[in-house]
Structure 1
């Protein structure tokens, strides 16, 4: 084949190239644009115009939001097939390679600096991840959620086909972020709960030897919770006894003697003001997974870094204070700090010495 013929063959198979940017606020909500030419919301971004995709993403951010930002980390590359997107036939859509870059977490000052491009971007809004399928076109929502899971996992860019990962991770398999995250915006307090204040909940940060902690995921929608639960009469008012019992019942694990981290002051509980205690302990034994006797739910037991756990919830700014207390307890327990890595399932009867 001649160079001319080869060039013509490749040109006949040309596809579009696009770039978009995933940006979240400090609550983990995703920045979406309301545009004048579509009824559904979009991530910031657009067509690549002859430049490298990362430079295209930077240019689109400045054109659409009036914000200069560097984007160096790719989250996903999606092959959008001609059948995977509904386009007017006159456009002869050939398919697209759409790159999703990590725009990072924006604070209130940076959000306030946004200046929407007149005539194109009508407004921006921050949406809970679970609301993306309602607000976005189906393929756009799948892509955004896949990119968000890739960010939480801390992997390199994942490969997608019409928004679906070629190699699903644990977060993909449990459909993480498709149910509204638990929102706990109560202030963080150090020390024991005030005398006479009822304790409605005791959750634990349970450390594996490698510094990751046990997180329980709903297998249907990825909704997360930490091991623990509601005090029962047999606990005799001891939060450590509550956590030890609940860890065995709902997670089938045994733990060391828990240490107190602090508590969240819940002023708006339906039964009146109360506190939610947080503790830390080591995992000492892992048994076969089984249904929680209180709910009948069999959770997926996952290991995640404390930072990843925070991203699975909507705890607001007080989460930073709780996270600091978690790492202080980790250091006291002599446990190393874990580097970010994909969430992994904790198998039945795990030998903890291998972690």
Structure 2
């Protein structure tokens, strides 16, 4: 029996089944799988293993005849003692022979490695972890920005690319040596390579109490499609909401601070802001203070320009409120604030936005088209 020609042969050349099978076997690759798991603070689970000096995501090589998702489920059970159904892929990575440092004796042929979304684990599931004796020395949840220092370069690139794909929510990303073939905005600004702001303040859905100074007024500024404006550092993806520190001309009015700062930072014009609530900050270096959060509708967005206070020209992007929360480490107060944000969205008559990749806004934007 003959079969079709090999991909690099002329169509007129025909091969026996035995020859074709031998040719394909000579081009065999490794196949592996890994799982991205986070805790409720957005920190990533990494494993300490005795056979490598660097940390790893849960996962490993596929067994003969095993599908990538079957292998991922098996590895979680074997390595962590936890049974978790996996239904969502985050990335498929072509790891080239040059993209991984291995001993020549290994004769590494390249690998196709699938990354699955293991979800957000609560305290009960984390407490159920039972690392495999003799293989897994322990697990840690670490900030995404710590991965390059803890993992091998290819592993950290892949994990960060998978995390960005999870936040974007648009489906698996195709990688080569950990880098996406079609970079999204989060990839272009190197999101999660800067330590996220860790602010575990309790959320208070009430006016700021008298007697404590207001040090900050940030705003959730809604576009007509239900997404909000977020500002990103173009070098490292560090995120902030529009707003800032009160100035004397604001006359101690948080709404005036937000209106002024949104215009200075992002050339954003907004409707009259309404109060969402506040965060009591007991750890500020100048003493206890209050951080106010407000909500408003975006009414106009002019050309981007440097912030006069910092000289920084931010990347302006639209994201769902849920995506914004994932760009920070706000602890349980973040979830409580998110609830208040959606209450404000409903009062403004704005629809709930579906998850989609973060969208960079051009120099000037007609908001009525969103």
Q: How does 1:265-284 map to 2 (within 5 A)?
A: 265-284=280-299
1:213 aligns with 2:228: yes
Q: Map of 1:1-355 to 2, 5 A cutoff?
A: 1-50=15-64, 51-355=66-370
CA distance in 1 between partners of 2:364 and 2:239 (Å): 22
Q: Which runs of 5+ in 1 are unaligned?
A: none
Q: Secondary structure at the match of 1:5?
A: helix
CA distance in 1, matches of 2:212, 2:90: 45
- Structure 2 runs not aligned, ≥5 long: 1-14
Q: How many Å separate the matches in 2 of 1:156 and 1:287? A: 32
Deviation at 1:91, TM superposition (A): 1.2
Deviation at 1:196, TM superposition (A): 2.1
Q: Specify the SS of the correspondent of 2:207.
A: coil
Deviation string, structure 1 residues 105-159 (Cα, Å, up to 9, x no partner): 0001100000000111000001100000000000000000000000000011100
CA distance in 2, matches of 1:155, 1:92: 36
- 3-state DSSP of counterpart to 2:71: helix
Q: Secondary structure at the match of 1:353?
A: helix
Q: Report the Cα distance in structure 2 between the residues aligned to 1:318 and 1:271, rounded to whole angstroms.
A: 22
Q: Could you tell me how far apart the structure 2 residues matched to 1:12 and 1:97 are?
A: 16
Quote the Cα distance in structure 2 between the aligned partners of 1:88 and 1:238: 64
Q: Following TM superposition, by how much is the alpha carbon of 1:184 offset from its aligned partner in structure 2, in angstroms?
A: 1.1
Q: Which moved more, 1:105-114 or 1:190-199?
A: 190-199
The CA deviation string for residues 53-75 of structure 1, in whole angstroms up to 9 with x for no partner, is: 00000000000000001111000
Larger gyration radius, structure 1 or structure 2: 2
Q: Give the secondary structure class of the aligned counterpart of 1:257.
A: coil
Normalising to structure 2: TM-score of the pair?
0.95
**Structure 2 counterpart SS, 1:308:** helix
Number of aligned residue pairs:
355
What CA deviation, in whole Å up to 9, does each residue of 1:250-290 have, x standing for no partner? 01110000010000000111111110000000000010000
Task: Name whichever of 268-277 and 294-303 sits farther off.
Answer: 268-277
Classify the secondary structure of the residue corresponding to 1:334.
coil
Question: What is the RMSD computed on CA atoms of the aligned residues?
Answer: 0.5
Per the normalisation by structure 1, the TM-score is: 0.99
CA distance in 1, matches of 2:213, 2:365: 36
CA distance in 2, matches of 1:292, 1:117: 51
Partner of 1:59, secondary structure, is: helix
SS at match of 1:206: strand
Q: Distance in 2 between matches of 1:70 and 1:255?
A: 44
